[in-house]
Structure 1
Amino acid sequence: MFGFGFPEIASTVGRSEAACRQLAVRARRHMDTGRPRFEAGRREREELAGRFFDAFREGDADGLRELLAGDVHMVGDGGGKAPAGTKPIIGADKVAQVLAAVAAPLVRIGIVVEPHEVNGQPGAIFRDRDGKVLNTFALDILDGRIQTIRAVINPDKLRHIGPVADSWAVAREWNQARPSPERRLTPTA
């Protein structure tokens, strides 16, 4: 690696020597196969994202589950300034259930999901009934499955897109639209 040994690389990147050696082995193997890291072309990724957001709008947990990698991660960034989970949700079953559960109340209160490229990935911008930005989703896709769903709801990170919605007001309205009180959006620090 540009004349540096594994001890220097490990120190620089904050990983163990063994981890750095393993990364190097994988990188060499990857380069030897000549296969691109991301196999899905732009069209395939957009089609998968389209099916994902259709299933999301319909609250179709089974349809969502089919599109997710088994170990999919869903992470949210509220930055302490918006309602968001503090821990990632991991696994196709859990992520599909959560997404299906939030979809109907969102649609009921007038949230619109607009497919849109987000940080170079297929994704969507969620807008309130007044057209203000509520949050974004970016989808990391590999091997024909969604590996990670990155939700950004932190208003400071959304302002460049346009006027930002009051996510706390939307959360209160969403909670009223939910049929069951045990699944309420709660503020996090």
Structure 2
Amino acid sequence: MPRAEEFEELRPLLFSIAYRILGSVSDAEDAVQETWLRFGATRTRPVSTKAFLAAVVTRIAIDVLRSARVRREEYVGPWLPEPLLSDPYQDPARSAELADSLSMAALLLLERLSPLERAVFVLREVFGFGFPEVASAVGRSEPACRQLAVRARRHMEAGRPRFEADRREREELAARFFDALREGDVDGLRDLLAADVQVVGDGGGKAPQLAARIVGADRVARVLTMFFGLSARIDVSVEPREVNGRPGAIFRDRDHRVINAWALDVLDGRIRTVRSVINPDKLGHLGPVADAWALRREATGERQEP
């Protein structure tokens, strides 16, 4: 098989590895492109093209992550992963691990790990690579990788909720949630929220947002219904979508440009977290991006300062 065909066949896997390590669609795409360039520059055929390319994209992603962490320390407000609407890599044998590791909650847990722990966890626990392949990818011995995997698994399991909703329950609850918001039903919305529900917003200082963090069922219900009321004034449409493997929505202006992306976490029959990404730098891969500042002025009647 020609190299280009081999690479294209493995591209979905490489992107999925890089995205989970980096939490960024654009950085993951760049890592995959760099992997292709390095693959093209090799003179000999690897014994396993899959293992070789997975190792290359992992090393690139680790390097990018180390520099990205410095930038994230200076990030304005909460940092959230770039929203992903669908995972290009599908493997029925590992569908559960793939779906769980794609959620924003899981990606934020991965943020707590060191770059090496994160890479080892993604390769071993999510994609099922053997320890010899993992060790080759991260440049550590197999015993060291086993220790990294144990530490990473311990951190991930400690941060995960004990009881998660199944897919159908999540979808049904999300549909009721968005119906209540459209109808402005504060009481109905409150009944769907966990007592300690949070809305976490990522604007990166580049777009208006409700607040960096809103906590509590009563406050969240009132703030979100107010937000939907303002949005209706300017013909904002809500497009229910699966975002990072969980129920969510894409908000668009009247010209169908992307304003915002929401992802919902469901636990014990209630919505526990609403994560809102409105930073325009994180939405470009979803389509043309709206001017959120101009939309806020239009919705609230604010005048633009000269």
What TM-score comes out, normalization by structure 2 length? 0.46
Q: Deviations over 1:144-188 (max 9, x none)?
A: 100000011000111111110010111101112xxxxxxx8xxxx
Residues 102-141 of structure 1 mapped to structure 2, 5 A cutoff: 102-141=227-266
**1:53-73 C-alpha deviation (Å, 9 max, x unpaired):** 111111111111011000001
From 251, 269, 273, give the equivalent of 1:148: 273
Aligned AA for 2:226?
A: A
- 1:170 and 2:295 correspond: yes
Q: 1:49 — aligned with what?
A: 174
3-state SS of 1:100 partner: helix
Per-residue deviation at 1:37? 3.8
Aligned to 1:33: none
Distance 1:62 1:160, change over 3 A: same
SS of 1:160's equivalent?
helix
Structure 2 residue corresponding to 1:74, chosen from 175, 184, 199: 199
Deviation at 1:38, TM superposition (A): 4.3
Q: How far off its partner does 1:85 sit?
A: 4.1
Q: Describe the SS at the equivalent of 1:40.
A: coil
Q: Deviation per CA, 1:100-142, whole angstroms, max 9, x where unpaired? A: 1111221121000010011111000000000000001100101
Q: Tell me whether 1:98 sits opposite 2:223 in the alignment.
A: yes
Q: Quick one: which amino acid aligns to residue 70 of structure 1?
A: A
1:38–1:124 distance in 2 versus 1, CA, 3 Å: farther
Structure-1 separation of matches of 2:211 and 2:250: 21
1:58 corresponding residue in structure 2: 183
Larger radius of gyration: 2
- Asked if structure 2 preserves the Cα contact closer than 8 Å seen for 1:67 and 1:146, the reply is yes
| Gap change, CA 1:110 and 1:120, over 3 Å in 2 | same
Normalised by the length of structure 1, the TM-score is: 0.73
Q: Which of 161-170 and 98-107 deviates more?
A: 98-107
The residue identity in structure 2 corresponding to 1:108 is: R
For 2:289 and 2:113, the matched residues in 1 are separated by 36
Distance 1:102 1:85 in 2: 8
Q: What is the identity, as a one-letter code, of the residue corresponding to 2:201?
A: G
- RCO comparison, higher one (Cα < 8 Å, 6+): 1
Instruction: Report the secondary structure of 2:227's partner residue.
Output: helix
Give the superposition deviation at 1:39: 3.4
Distance in 2 between residues matched to 1:42 and 1:57, nearest whole Å: 23
Runs of 4 or more above 3 Å deviation: 36-39
Q: Which 5+ residue runs of structure 2 have no aligned equivalent?
A: 1-111, 115-153
Higher strand share: 1
Query: Partners in 2 of 1:154 and 1:56 — Cα distance?
Result: 22
Note if contact 1:58-1:104 (Cα within 8 Å) is conserved in structure 2.
no
Letter in 2 for 1:130: D
Offset of 1:41 from its aligned partner? 1.3
Taking the aligned partners of 1:85 and 1:54, their CA distance within structure 2 comes to 20
Equivalent residue for 1:160? Answer: 285
Identity %: 64
CA distance in 2 between counterparts of 1:158 and 1:52 reads: 23
Aligned residues: 150
- The 3-state SS of whatever aligns with 1:137 is strand
